[in-house]
Amino acid sequence: MFWKFDLHSSSHIDTLLEREDVTLKELMDEEDVLQECKAQNRKLIEFLLKSECLEDLVSFIIEEPPQDMDEKIRYKYPNISCELLTSDVSQINDRLGEEESLLLKLYSFLLNESPLNPLLASFFSKVLSILISRKPEQIVDFLKRKHDFVDLIIKHIGTSAIMDLLLRLLTCIEPPQPRQEVLNWLNEERIIQRLVEIVHPSQDEDRHSNASQSLCEIIRLSRDQMLQVQNSSEPDPLLASLEKQEIIEQLLSNIFHKEKNESAIVSAIQILLTLLETRRQTFEGHTEICPPGMSNSTYSVNKSVLEAIKARLSSFHELLLEPPKKSVMKTTWGVLDPPVGNTRLNVIRLISSLLQTNTSSVNQELIELNSIGVILDMFFKYTWNNFLHTQVEICIALILASPLENTENGTITDQDSTGDNLLLKHLFLKCQLIERILEAWEMNEKKQAEGGRRHGYMGHLTRIANCIVHSTDKGPNSTLVQQLIKELPEEVRERWETFCTSSLGETNKRNTVDLVTTCHIHSSSDDEIDFKETGFSQDSSLQQAFSDYQMQQMTSNFIDQFGFNDEKFADQDDIG
């Protein structure tokens, strides 16, 4: 490009640089200083490479600007300094990465007391990150020689930019051997154990959240690397440490403290959910997150993780019954006392994730605790919480579609003496799923007939009912589902059969017509489709289309989207 050869027209910066007394601030006041730097303006680069200029640039990003400055311009010079130092000019990278005095000055920012200035921390993190990327050997060697580096990272982990810096250290080094050396070094510094220790009621929410996010990202990064370098002779030491049963037990011990701290509990569950993720190959070699136990998974859930969680299932169940205290929530639909809360929502997400492992001992524990019954009660109690309804729907769909169970040693169990699915029987017999659906549906119809508003869970209830009908006809447990329905009290069975052909059928037909008429469908010649000519009844074809559409929503893609990728909801303080 022409600017690499200094053929661009002379700028005002060139004029300023002709002066012997020009200052760094004068150049930084010029609007095109960043553009000229990135364009490799030779005179400007030579000026910036002066020792005093580099020191001033570093000082700007690590030192608090004067308090008496106008807030609009207070961070002007720190911001421009950061942009100049991260403009990826090789000469600047070389000087910063190889000059010990500049690195020490930059590093001194970490020696400040917490909390760090978040904006300056972002500048510091950005500069050090590009140095790690461009001069990995020099920077890692420098950081290793600073024996307090990991201590300071842990100290400031509540500042998001410092968490980002830790993750950049894991992602910016691409050659396998240097990356493995960094992993071994961080593991020797017990980074995993120290991050787990932060997820404790005694720590504040920012530290909980960032420690949890760091561990989740370490898990995902490690697994991504495992997929890319499948023939690696050395395992990832950080992931191996985190998957140890004693580490998970320590994490759970932290949150099941006598003091129920919602932030710590939710942060810990986020880590567990990430550990329970697996990935599978999709089109063209891409990967996507998928539930453990599903077909085509790349690797299985670590048995130590499942064992540690299973031992604490009763404590998680207790959180469903007695969550951390929350204030009464007044809504336009009434008073929630208590509201669902983030804790219980995440516990249900964890149960959903555990169901997907389809592990015999875990399923048995859930049956004994009646956890499915409790979350079903919550489904109907909290009429308007669709986050909750989605998770309960996923749980029911998984139980209906679950194949033979896995034992801890990877073999398939006989489940019980008759080969039946115990969890499915529990859902129909103990939890009385059919009766609950009929009761809720009738209650809603009565309310609407009196001029009331339709219940908020009715869409999910429709899908659950359709899922049962589908499971009766085509599901992997169709024989057992048919038997369970046949064994219902005669009055309940007759009501269910009538419901399927009348209320549910009419709802499916109405929803299908809505779906079709909302977007007017034409053939390529804009002729109307004549259902009679196709040989299919319009009603039956539309109903079948809607039924197929609904079952499509119960596939693993639906489960993935709502069961695993909704971290963005996890930070909400109050979920009614």
pLDDT in tens, 202-218: 999 999 999 999 999 99
pLDDT tens by residue, 66-80: 888 887 789 999 999
Instruction: Name the residue ranges covered by the structural domains of the chain.
Output: 11-146, 370-403+421-512
DSSP 8-state secondary structure symbol assigned to residue 111: G
| Residue 330 backbone class (left: φ over 0; alpha: ψ -120 to 50; beta: rest) | beta
- Taking 50 as the threshold, does the pLDDT of residue 520 lie above it? no
DSSP H helices in 189-244: 191-198, 205-228, 237-242
Across the chain, mean pLDDT equals 83
Q: What is the pLDDT of residue 283?
A: 36
Residue 499 exposed, middle or buried by CB count within 10 Å (0-12, 13-18, 19+):
middle
- Taking 50 as the threshold, does the pLDDT of residue 105 lie above it? yes
pLDDT tens by residue, 179-191: 999 999 999 999 9
- Tell whether omega for the bond before 235 is within 30 degrees of 0, i.e. cis: no
pLDDT tens by residue, 17-28: 888 889 999 999
Going by pLDDT thresholds of 50, 70 and 90, the confidence category of residue 232 is low
Contact 463, 553 (CB under 8 A): yes
Element (H, E) at 252: helix 245-255
- Taking 70 as the threshold, does the pLDDT of residue 50 lie above it? yes
Least confident of 147-161, 201-215, 223-237: 223-237
Least confident of 55-64, 259-268, 513-522: 513-522
Q: What is the pLDDT of residue 560?
A: 43
Q: How far apart are CA 549 and CA 70, in angstroms?
A: 58
- Taking 60 as the threshold, does the pLDDT of residue 235 lie above it? yes
Q: What is the pLDDT of residue 169?
A: 94
- Taking 60 as the threshold, does the pLDDT of residue 535 lie above it? no
Least confident of 124-133, 195-204, 322-331, 377-386: 322-331
- Taking 60 as the threshold, does the pLDDT of residue 281 lie above it? no
Comparison of pLDDT for 452 and 373, the residue scoring more: 373
- Taking 70 as the threshold, does the pLDDT of residue 555 lie above it? no
Going by pLDDT thresholds of 50, 70 and 90, the confidence category of residue 10 is low
Q: What is the pLDDT of residue 333?
A: 64
Least confident of 136-140, 282-286, 321-325: 282-286
Least confident of 60-64, 81-85, 159-163, 234-238: 234-238
Query: If you average pLDDT over residues 543-548, what whole number do you get?
Result: 50
Collect all residues with Cβ–Cβ distance below 8 Å to 548 and sequence separation of at least 6: none
Write phi, then psi, for 329 (nearest 5 degrees).
-110, 120
Q: What is the pLDDT of residue 339?
A: 84
The percent of residues above 90 in pLDDT, for the chain, comes to: 65
Q: What is the pLDDT of residue 404?
A: 62
Contact 470, 480 (CB under 8 A): no
pLDDT tens by residue, 290-317: 444 444 455 568 899 999 999 999 999 9
Going by pLDDT thresholds of 50, 70 and 90, the confidence category of residue 569 is very low
Least confident of 68-72, 263-267, 396-400, 550-554: 550-554
Closest C-alpha among 559, 478, 481, 469 to residue 507? 469
State how far Cα 306 lies from the chain centre: 19
Q: What is the pLDDT of residue 406?
A: 57
Residue 279, SS3? strand
The percent of residues above 70 in pLDDT, for the chain, comes to: 78
Comparison of pLDDT for 309 and 257, the residue scoring more: 309
Block residue for tokens 């730097």: 37
- Taking 50 as the threshold, does the pLDDT of residue 271 lie above it? yes
Structure-block tokens of residue 89: 């000019």
Collect all residues with Cβ–Cβ distance below 8 Å to 75 and sequence separation of at least 6: 65, 119
Least confident of 214-223, 230-239, 383-392, 485-494: 230-239
Element (H, E) at 329: strand 329-331
pTM higher than the cut 0.75: yes
Q: What is the pLDDT of residue 207?
A: 97
Least confident of 17-31, 151-165, 432-446: 17-31
Going by pLDDT thresholds of 50, 70 and 90, the confidence category of residue 331 is confident
Residues 243-276: b if buried by 16+ CB within 10 A, e if exposed: bbbebbbbbbebbbeeebbbbbbbbbbbbbbbbb
Structure-block tokens of residue 17: 């640089």
Q: What is the pLDDT of residue 405?
A: 57
Residues 31-40: b if buried by 16+ CB within 10 A, e if exposed: eebeebbebb
Least confident of 2-16, 208-222, 491-505: 2-16
CATH 2.30.30 fits 11-146, yes or no: no
- Taking 60 as the threshold, does the pLDDT of residue 537 lie above it? no
Residue 497, SS3? helix
